[in-house]
Amino acid sequence: MIDPHAEVIEIEDTGSNPAPAERFTSIAERFLSRRGALLAATALALAPDADAQTTPRRGGPSTLTFDELQHQLAQEDAVADGHRIQYLMRWGDAVLPGAPAFDPLAQTGAAQAQQFGTNCDFLAFIPLPAGSRSSANGLLWVNHEYTSTQIMFPGLPPGGAAARQATNAEQVRVELMAHGGSIIELRRDGRDWRVVEGSRFARRVTAETPMRISGPAAGHPRMRTSTDAAGTTVLGMLNNCAGGTTPWGTVLTCEENFNFCFGGEAADTSDQAAAYRRYGIRRQAIYGWSRFEPRFSLDREPNEPNRFGWVVEIDPFDPTSTPIKRTALGRFKHEGCTYAMAPDGRVVFYQGDDEMDDYVYRFVTARPFNPTDMAANRDLLDDGTLSVAQYRDDGTLRWLPLVFGQGPLTPANNFHNQGDVVIEARRAADLLGATPMDRPEDVETNPATGRVYVMLTNNARRTTPNATNPRINNTHGHVVEMIPPGAGTARVDHAADEMRWSIFLMAGKPGIDAGARYHRATGADGWLSCPDNCAFDSKGRIWIATDGAPGAAGIADGIYAADTLGGGRALTRLFYQAPVGAEVCGPCFTPDDSTLFLAIQHPGENAGSTFANPSTRWPDFQDGMPPRSTVIAITKDAGGPIG
């Protein structure tokens, strides 16, 4: 979830699937060409009066009552009238008791390890007391994905890649401590939220926090290093993007672009070279850490990258607990890990692999969730079935199990155990014939309907146009809807081997970008580009966060809301817009829908921005203070549910 227009993405986010199978868009073309015959039987209508969707008009049947915001590209952020923004936690603010005040001119790794990290991403609001539905007191878990080095430190050259290679030893320490996550306690006093100082729950997790490795890859020879001969303990987590929670009260935080951190000649010469390439690991690392930190050199520690790219489980209520990397869920560039319940009590986790032409995954626990004994659920994530999605052109999809010994996942293809399968989950999915997707990011279940929504951000590699999306490449992305058996009833079978699928919307500007598809009443400010994350309110309406909105068209990234069923299905309305250079991450509601928390990441990260001359100084707008990623809270002026 890094700005796709930034230099770092131009280098790395070009896709690492060397020979993708038939792309999803080709399948979509055939499916949608047949949709007239399928609609009556499957109720997969994209929107009412779908043949007129590309002709915007005013009004419409949306259940959303806020006055839509106008598109903007500005140094400040904005929200729909009748709402207010509160800036809760900025990069450098104190998290732990006794943390020093933030001084951008005198940063140290020791200070950053106690302060709020940078580039906040996934958010999870966890009510207090545990197990309650409180919307006035709770913990907030926050991911810290990566560092915008060129605007963090004075004196570095413009351009992310150049700045990262110019860092000194102490700046590298700051970068490592700025990764990871934070837990803060929030309390609502009247209209305002405040951070509870000195909370017993406060915690910083960094790139050096000791973590346990569990599941089928634990102890695997490819997980062992010179400092961990057992292959069961690792220092820290890296590039944590989106995430999820569990029904037993823990947080799942997901490692994404870990490949940025590792480099060396072994990328081309070692016996793991092909595996490195499949994960985007190259000779020249994006970060310059290996100059001071030997574990990031492939030539010194060839197995260290295998210890990243996992889902990490953290107990938010115990700041002394050891985070656990749950390897049964597979290794790839995780963009979220969100759960739904199967009728038999097993827990189903949906995951996206955020890379062009990569895949959508699912993990189903082997045992059911025990709501009366939380301790019995402690290791549910170590035993289950990891699968990958194969979309068919008849509007169905099949989940293909990634299980050692089944199909091509055998010694003949150099898979000798389940540890091999999860360490090289991408290659296993390749061999099974998974459907390459257009950067699968967040995958979330609508709690009101049981339908599952996949955010597909974009894909510059697409070369084959089609009638449904006649673009040479998918620069604006789209949203796919997966429909498990029983969706809309009390027994939705998220563990079913087969489901149905449809397209919810095609992003882009109607009338300008070929193939853009929404409800026909979508207004001039309701179109969006590059859907990334999403959340659902209690009414089942979708709130979509974007990453990569075209500044050339005069718009910044934002939050768009829409009904998912009924007359207002896919009628998107603009609710919030970020400052220039930023993306919007981690949309998260309180249980009563009265507060929407958002993570505003990399403000001011535009081409040419530096510490001394950023494109914005949001949110402080003080001379000498760089732009700072910030968690915000949005509430209604009059109180009550948002939307």
Encoded tokens for 602: 């990399």
- The whole-number pLDDT of residue 24 equals 56
CA angle 633, 634, 636 (to 5 degrees): 140
Can you give 561-611 as a three-state secondary structure string? EEECCHHHECCCEEEEECCCCCEEEEEEECCCCCEEEEEEECCCCCCCCCC
Q: Are 159 and 151 in contact, with CB atoms under 8 Å apart?
A: no
Cα dihedral sign, 224-226-229-234: negative
Give residue-wise pLDDT tens across range 307-327. Answer: 999 999 999 999 999 999 999
Distances (CA, A) of 4 to 11, 534, 546, 607: 10, 18, 11, 12
Q: Are 559 and 583 in contact, with CB atoms under 8 Å apart?
A: no
Cα–Cα dist 511/56, whole Å: 8
Torsion angle defined by CA atoms of residues 187, 188, 194 and 197, in that order, rounded to the nearest 10 degrees: -20
Boundaries of every domain in the chain: 7-256+309-459+467-636
Cα–Cα dist 12/14, whole Å: 6
Encoded tokens for 89: 């936690």
Distances (CA, A) of 552 to 171, 230, 319, 547, 555: 33, 52, 45, 14, 7
CA angle 40, 42, 48 (to 5 degrees): 65
Q: Which CATH superfamily is domain 7-256+309-459+467-636 in?
A: TolB, C-terminal domain (2.120.10.30)
Cα–Cα dist 198/94, whole Å: 10
At 191, which amino acid appears?
R
Cα–Cα dist 275/582, whole Å: 33
521 — phi, psi (to 5°)? -90, 5
Using DSSP, state whether 198 is helix, strand or coil. Answer: coil
83-121 exposure pattern, b = at least 16 Cβ within 10 A, e = fewer: bebebbbbbbbbbbeebeebebeebebebbbbbbbbbbb
418 — phi, psi (to 5°)? -70, -25
Q: State pTM to two decimals.
A: 0.94
Q: Given the structure tokens 């994350």, which residue do they identify?
A: 533
Other beta carbons within 10 angstroms of residue 378's beta carbon come to 14
Cα–Cα dist 614/454, whole Å: 33
- The whole-number pLDDT of residue 160 equals 83
Give 84's strand partners: 635
Q: Which residues neighbour 268 within 8 Å (Cβ) at sequence distance 6 or greater?
A: 283
Q: Characterise 211 by phi-psi region: left (phi > 0), alpha (psi -120 to 50), beta (else).
A: beta
Cα–Cα dist 184/204, whole Å: 9
Cα–Cα dist 205/553, whole Å: 38
DSSP state of 32: H
Q: Are 253 and 240 in contact, with CB atoms under 8 Å apart?
A: yes
Q: Which residues neighbour 277 within 8 Å (Cβ) at sequence distance 6 or greater?
A: 16, 18, 267
End-to-end alpha carbon distance in the chain = 26
Residue segments in the chain with a per-residue pLDDT below the cut of 70: 1-14, 19, 21-59, 464-472
DSSP state of 6: S
Other beta carbons within 10 angstroms of residue 339's beta carbon come to 18
Cα–Cα dist 541/564, whole Å: 6
- The whole-number pLDDT of residue 36 equals 38
Q: Which of 498, 492, 522, 497 is nearest to 508 (CA)?
A: 522
